[in-house]
Amino acid sequence: MHGRSGARLRRGNTGGSARKVSITLIGLAVVVGAVSSAASPTRSRPLASAVLTAQARPGAIIPPNHPYANVQNQVGFNCDRFAIDDTPNCIYSSLLNINYARSLEGVGPMVLPDDYPSLAPSQQLFVIFNLERTSRGLPALAELDASADNDATIGALGSGDPPIQGSPSFQPGPSIAAFGIGNALQADWEWMYTDGCYPSVGNADCTSVSPTDPGGWGHRDAILGNYGSVTSAAGAAEATATSGPFPGLIVWTAEFGQSLVGVPSPATAFLNSSVSYPPSAAPHIVSVNPSLAGPTSIVTVRGVYLTGASVVYFGSSRCTAFPNVTSDESLDVEVPLCASGTVNLQVVSPPNVSNPVVFSADGPVVRAASATVRPPFVALATTPAGDGYWEAASDGGVFTFGSAGFHGSMGGRPLNGPVVGMASTPDGGGYWLVGADGGVFAFGDAGFYGSAGNVRLTRPIVAMAATADGKGYWLVAGDGGVFSYGDARFQGSMGGRPLNQPVVAMAADQATGGYWLVAADGGIFSFDAPFLGSTGNVRLNRPVVGMAAARDGSGYRLVASDGGIFCFGAPFEGSTGSVHLNQPVVGMAAHGSTGYWMVARDGGVFTFGGAGFFGSGA
């Protein structure tokens, strides 16, 4: 195939129009390697059958297929076009648009390494390329090759595609370029999501405004190409052009191909193995619309990583509202009556809190309260016989189904923190609720044995589990700290220890009296309970949000927010990992050892194996 030339000259904000300018095609580009796809991770796990849903979704578009049309950006790119812009405003507005486009393909949100802003521009491009590839089940590029970096630099300085020269260390394939852009993420948006020829020309190689024009999507094909599953490599660069058709513009370039030497090697500039890719990130607000509105108004928050949002602070945790999450990039929330004056609005996705955004509650009522936002559901607990279950919402409301009896709730009562977890008693005659502040509420025959409501917590409480006899319970915070009450024995915790990702759930081992903790990346921490495996070293499309243990202690299962199930020592009986959900999954519960339920934030219930469906709050 021939290398595509992607010339883009941006005029004004990227939220406006863009003029595309062609340049001459660069010589012949050879793509090396046979077509391959990413294999499922393998490792020795004699007691676990991990059913991984971390691979590409059915809707993911990979070569030779192309998207039908260019994606419309959802917010303006808040970026400087004349200087490298690694400010949060630029990064997160770019991520919002990219993650929206990825969601249209069934691909999870892009989560950048923590040190992304400090990486060199060429390394930022390399990281983004691999995030685009691996999320679609394609093998990662192994390295940035120094000779390919040199080609990319020549192209950037000359405001054109990198020359395809090759070297003893690198066999080149196609090369690409983008112009007049101050951020690597925005270059990715141009190459991956607006590279077609319909409904407007997004690529300099287009000859018509048509979804079938063969000039479209060449840059995307280059990024997602097959260059060898082990030694695929790239070169990348950014420079202010000194010559060529666009002198003075910032130019981003890349060249793809195959390394001809061992990895790592003296020719290696940057290794993929040196990058730490987190599976999830804290929510970040990009905008609030309107930013001036009175109480009972419904405002829309746009941002990234909003899926797990359970509450919105209006100034502090003493003035909160429950959001309706409509996508990973958007939520609606009703301004509470307690909001007054200018406050910092923050989104809470336990245990993480977003950046603050200034909001004024002194404005008029807008979109008034006919569209009241319902509190999200947060947990599910089951009867001992598995013939019923309870659902709990973040405002403390309890909903019963099947044989589960109603014993009371906190719905309509003031809370210091939103409810985040629930557990039922062994005879099904009662249940507990726990708030993010550690407050415990007991109903029916559930005994109150203490709480962390008056304890200064390092991180909020995220879950609870009850002992086998129902005479005690544990609470766990996002930092892995464990609090034990009644006859629940303290067996250890992760409090004060470094974690790759925050703890999100726990389960009791009824056989030993111990417990497991699970982090958002699927890492398992076992305390007087057998370790049977984890997904801590598996790249997930969506973070883990819950776990459930077989009642005989033979194994446990983890669930991600997309409903993907990961089984260890317990059988896999189905998932929603490849199904479009109206709202993300927030938790799960086990039915003996042969089935399980999942609950979504809208109250939807999904049943598998021997678990019966008795209704839902959706």
Indicate the domain borders of the chain.
8-24+67-274, 284-371, 377-609
Q: Which of 540, 496, 538, 499 is nearest to 519 (CA)?
A: 499
Note whether 192 and 135 are within 8 A (CB). Answer: no
Per-residue pLDDT reduced to its tens digit, 191-203: 999 999 998 887 8
pLDDT value of residue 57: 47
> Collapsing DSSP states into helix, strand and coil, what is residue 566?
strand
- Asked if residue 597 has pLDDT above 50, the reply is yes
Q: Beta-strand (E) ranges in 143-193?
A: 143-145, 170-179
Angstrom distance (rounded) from CA 28 to CA 7: 18
pLDDT in tens, 88-134: 999 999 999 999 999 888 888 999 999 999 999 999 999 999 999 99
Q: In what order do the strands lie in the sheet with 503-509?
A: 503-509, 514-519, 524-527
Q: Are strands 250-259 and 170-179 parallel, antiparallel or unpaired?
A: antiparallel
CATH number listed for the domain at residues 284-371? 2.60.40.10
Q: Taking 60 as the threshold, does the pLDDT of residue 457 lie above it?
A: yes
Q: Which CATH number fits domain 377-609: 3.40.50.920, 3.40.50.2020, 2.130.10.10, 3.40.50.410?
A: 2.130.10.10
Find out whether 196 and 210 touch, Cβ atoms under 8 Å: no
CA 343, CA 358: separation in Å to the nearest integer? 6
Per-residue confidence band for 18, with pLDDT thresholds at 50, 70 and 90: very low
- Give the pLDDT score at 21: 28
pLDDT band at 368 (very low <50, low <70, confident <90, very high): low
Residue 344 to residue 364: CA distance in whole angstroms: 18
φ/ψ of residue 360, rounded to 5: -110, 125
> What residues contact residue 340 under an 8 Å CB cut-off, 6+ apart?
295, 361, 362
Distance CA 586, CA 379 (A): 7
Q: Which CATH class is domain 8-24+67-274?
A: alpha beta
3-class SS at 438?
Answer: coil
**pTM over cut 0.75:** no
pLDDT of 302 higher than 80 = yes
The continuous run of DSSP H or E covering 193 comes out as: helix 184-193
Whether the CB-CB separation of 214 and 64 falls below 8 Å is answered with: no
| Average pLDDT of the chain, as a whole number | 84
Distance CA 377, CA 397 (A): 9
Q: First CA to last CA across the chain, in angstroms?
A: 51
The pLDDT-based confidence of 556 (bands split at 50, 70, 90) is very high
Q: What average pLDDT score do residues 521-526 get?
A: 92
- Average pLDDT rounded to a whole number, residues 207-232: 90
φ/ψ of 371, rounded to 5, equals -105, 50
Output the six-digit token pair for 187: 């270059």
Amino acid 59: pLDDT: 64
* Percentage above 70 pLDDT, the chain: 88
Cis status, amide bond into 290, omega within 30 of 0: yes
